Amino acid sequence: MAEKRSSMKNKREQQRKKAAKARRVRRTLLVITEFLLVCALSICCYAVSILNTMQRSTINQKEIYVATFANNGDNDQQEEAQTATTEPQSKEQEKESEKSGEQESVPESSSAKPGSVINVSEVTQATTVDDILSHQETVNGYWNILLVGVDARDQANLGGGNGVQSDVMMICSINVKTKEVKLVSIYRDTLLKMYSRDEFDLANSEFAKGSDTDMISMINMNLDLQIQDVVVVNWAALIRVIDAIGGIYLDITPEEVEKGYITGYITEIEEATGIWQPQLEQAGYQLCNGVYAVAYCRNRYTTGMDMGRTSRQREVIDKMLQQAKVASPSALLTAVRYACPNINTTLSNDELFALAADVNSYSITDTEGFPYTYDLTLGTLGVFGVKDSLVCTDLAGDVKKLHTYLFGDDGYEPSQTVKDISYTIQKAFGVGQ
């Protein structure tokens, strides 16, 4: 009997040892598998980075117009900014700069561009946030990025042209030292001077008829800015990022649901992107997925028209930043990986990952819309052959207010180029004189 119990005990001990060995083997295999998956993920990210860099190579070879500040309150910084943005120039560009510098009058047909032109490919790329911000510190202590949201259905049209509409045009201004962020929406129907062609048109037509770098140049020229970087996103990119970070909370009004303003956009977005969600059925403050959030910020049929829509767009970005701060590192990594195939940007993937990793350092302190002074009635007159525009009645004055708002520069004086554009608009419409 005792011998039988001893045999069973030995058998159980052998089974226990085999089970323990099997567990060790499984753990080892799991560790090896995880290691291989991490390696594969790293290789994929590196491959995507190379592919995106190759895709952006044709974009980054283009030149953009950079305004020369008339007065930015700091002579040393002004000299640094001009030095950073005026090299190198071709002989033709130098001649053009000399000619434009000689102009003192305000000819309404003037197409002079007395700023400077830089090659986007020459902007140094960095791999850490501190390096990125340190590189941009020569531009008045602020890093300004143009955010463009488009209705492009595919990657091929993210560079502009082909009639692709830029419904979102937003200046993201980052204070290098404090990392405080201000957002300024440019109303898409604002009548401005085009950079790619010598005519006035709706602001969003520069992207539709030109390119992303033409859009940067147009905004720099009309607003006396020195933007060098752009991020163009389509609906799919925004949806994927919002979904990856867990959605955002928005207050959906009964009017938006009952009158079909949100639901109609949801259907259109789903058909365009192939990303399907159950239809939104109730109003109220609620957690919204990416499809709902994009529909919310595209709506312009409730109070406020396009001005109200741009306010909702800035709200969505603010909510995304707040949600990103509490999201896990893996969620942020997923967001960037999903976004990369659906964006077009002058930033490298390393810079995008660095910015995502440092998301907790940023805070959106304020948002506004531009221009400040406008008349919608005048836009129906068809002046310059453009109808249904938003006419800025004092562009020079609004540019001065913009620089005070963004950079705290109370003594800013608009450039002669901005004064020329402002004068031409005022004379054409008979206002502000």
User: Residue 399 pLDDT more than 90?
Assistant: yes
Three-state DSSP class for residue 286: strand
Residue 329 has pLDDT above 90, yes or no: no
Average pLDDT over residues 1-26: 71
The DSSP symbol for 377 reads T
Question: What's the pLDDT at 31?
Answer: 54
Q: Give the model's confidence band at 82: pLDDT under 50 very low, under 70 low, under 90 confident, else very high.
A: very low
User: What pLDDT score was predicted for residue 406?
Assistant: 93
SS3 call for 371: coil
Instruction: Classify burial at 430, counting beta carbons within 10 Å of its beta carbon; exposed 0-12, middle 13-18, buried 19 or more.
Output: exposed
Residue in the block written with tokens 């896990």? 328
Instruction: Please state the φ and ψ torsions of residue 145, each to the nearest 5 degrees.
Output: -125, 135
Among 20-34, 202-216, 295-309, the minimum mean pLDDT is found in: 20-34
Peptide bond connecting 278 to the previous residue in cis, omega within 30 degrees of 0? no
pLDDT band at 16 (very low <50, low <70, confident <90, very high): confident
CB 195 within 8 A of CB 217: yes
Confidence at residue 108, expressed as pLDDT on a 0 to 100 scale: 41
CA distance 274 to 239: 11
CA–CA separation, 234 and 221 (whole Å): 25
pLDDT tens-place string over residues 150-170: 865 555 566 665 666 777 899
Report which listed range, 59-73, 81-95, 399-413, is most confident. 399-413
- What is the pLDDT of the chain when averaged over all its residues? 76
Structure tokens at 270: 């789903």
Which backbone phi and psi does 329 adopt, to 5 degrees?
A: -55, -40
> Token digits for 280?
């939104």
**Pick the residue with more confidence: 91 or 32?**
32
Above 50 in pLDDT, residue 303? yes
Using the predicted structure, report yes or no on whether residue 335 has a pLDDT greater than 90. Answer: no
Amino acid 75: pLDDT: 40
Residue closest to 215 by CA, chosen among 59, 336, 109: 59
Bridge partners (DSSP) listed for residue 200:
193
The pLDDT value given to residue 400: 96
- Phi and psi torsions of 8, nearest 5°: -65, -40
The SS3 call for residue 374 is: strand
| pLDDT of 279 over the 80 cut | yes
For 180, the 3-state DSSP assignment is strand
DSSP for 150-163, please give it.
Answer: E--SSGGGTTS-TT
* Contact residues for 10 (Cβ-Cβ < 8 A; gap 6+): none
Q: 123 versus 130: which is more confidently predicted?
A: 130
d(CA 409, CA 73): 6
pLDDT attached to residue 2: 66
pLDDT in tens, 212-222: 888 999 999 99
Q: How far is CA 216 from CA 60, 64, 253, 260, 394, in A?
A: 13, 7, 35, 35, 21
pLDDT at 131: 62
pLDDT of 21 higher than 80: no
Answer yes or no: is pLDDT of 327 > 80.
yes
Instruction: Please report the pLDDT score of residue 232 as a whole number.
Output: 87
Q: How far is CA 44 from CA 138, 141, 167, 343, 408, in A?
A: 35, 36, 32, 17, 44
Helices (H), 89-172: 91-102, 129-136
Nearest to 97 by CA among 118, 79, 80: 118
pLDDT surpasses 80 at 3: no
Tokens of 425: 């608009």
Residue 354's pLDDT is what?
75
Instruction: Please say whether the beta carbons of 166 and 150 come within 8 A.
Output: yes
Task: Quickly count helices (H) and strands (E) in the chain.
Answer: 15, 14
